Amino acid sequence: MIELDGVTKFFGNYPAITDITFRVEKGEAVGFLGPNGAGKSTTMKIITAFIPPTSGNCTVAGYNVVTHSLDVRRHIGYLPETVPLYTDMSVKDYLAFMGKIRGMSQQRIRARIPEVIETCRLQEYYNSYVSKLSKGFRQRVGIAQCILHEPDVLVLDEPTIGIDPIQVVETRNLIRGLGGDHTLIVSTHILPEVSMICERVVIIHEGQIVAVDKPENLATRLRGVERVEIDVRGPTKEVMATLKDVEGVQAVERKRTPAGEDFNTYEIETVRGSDLRPQLAAAVVKGGWNLVRLQSMGMSLEEIFLRLTTTEDQPAAVAPATTT
């Protein structure tokens, strides 16, 4: 449904994005994740035919964004970073206006407005001036205009930015609800948001794609080592030596023990793809010590994100922050 092939955009001499290639299938919800200035908005503006790429190809529903920009826009609902709302219009009039400039018939506009008002739960604000709405509700008006002309593709640029936590939850639910019928691209730099809304994530950093995968796969793919935490009641030196001797263990480190506890916590790195928990447990028991806890540690999305967006000359910068 959306296809980018080697898309590059220069602003003057500055490459905002370089050689971006990915595709989004029909009905898929893809998260576009990256720090400030990564190139998310630039990529979205190209997809929505607002700015042309310097080089490379981008098509939406089979239409080229440069040669068929009007067809592209007909298929797309776009929520830009800053929504150009006309604050001296009522919600209803604003939506009617947006429908008109998109070439919708009066009849279709009349039929669609109540539908989008309901979808975006704006019933109470039907006749309110946009200027009187809170940020979260303005954002919903932005989403309402996005889906008014029943586009099959939605491009939402940081739809939850600046919204309070309660409205963020509602807005995310709204977006997730839209996901079923639409092909969706949502940009954000809020990591948990991606796994909540999207099936796949494209991580972009300094204008380049650094990873494309399902949120849950990123964790496994990136993990160079498996980490296990183990709490053992027993003499530190012997326990550490024994754990180190288990085949497949690469490193053992003692972590700070919670105050008032009589056991030690160790962090163990093992070779990738191995689950050494049974062997570790057996070694502790064999030593005659108490095994209090044994846990495999996943990598959080935050860690993945940091790892991916940390430059190569600082490898493994995400090595877990050890408490000292």
Ligand X SMILES: Nc1ncnc2c1ncn2[C@@H]1O[C@H](COP(=O)(O)OP(=O)(O)OP(=O)(O)O)[C@@H](O)[C@H]1O
Minimum distance of ligand X from residue 199's CB (angstroms): 21
Binding region for ligand X (CB under 6 A) = 11, 14, 16, 34, 36-42, 81, 189
* CA gap 13, 7 in Å, rounded: 16
Query: Where does residue 270 fall: left (phi above 0), alpha (psi -120 to 50 degrees), or beta otherwise?
Result: beta
> Binds 76, which of ligand X, Mg ion, none (CB < 5 to 8 A, cut-off by type)?
none
82: nearest Cα among 157, 132, 146, 148: 157
In angstroms, the CA 11 to CA 298 distance is: 40
Would you count residue 41 as binding Mg ion (CB under 5 A)? yes
- Residue nearer to ligand X on the CB measure, 18 or 183: 18
Q: Does residue 42 belong to the site contacting Mg ion (CB under 5 A)?
A: no
> Among Mg ion, ligand X, none, what binds residue 126 when CB lies within 5 to 8 Å by partner kind?
none
Only one of the segments 74-82, 116-124, 206-214, 294-302 lies at the binding site for Mg ion (rule: CB under 5 A); that segment is: 74-82
Cα radius of gyration rounded to whole Å, the chain: 25
The DSSP output letter for 48 is T
Asked if 18 touches Mg ion (CB under 5 A), the answer is no
The least distance separating ligand X from the CB of residue 16, rounded to whole angstroms, comes to 3
Q: How far is the CB of 157 from ligand X (least distance, A)?
A: 7
Q: What span, in angstroms and rounded, lies between the C-alpha atoms of 61 and 52?
A: 17
- CA 34-37-42 angle, to 5 degrees, is 90
Quote the CA–CA distance of 151 and 105 in Å, as a whole number: 15
Task: Report if residue 43 touches Mg ion, rule: CB under 5 A.
Answer: no
- 283 contacts: CB under 8 Å, gap ≥ 6: 242, 243, 245, 246
189 binds, among Mg ion, ligand X, none (CB under 5 to 8 A by kind): ligand X
Nearer to ligand X, 28 or 206 (CB): 206
CB of 12 to ligand X, least distance (A): 7
Residues that bind Mg ion (CB under 5 A): 40-41, 81
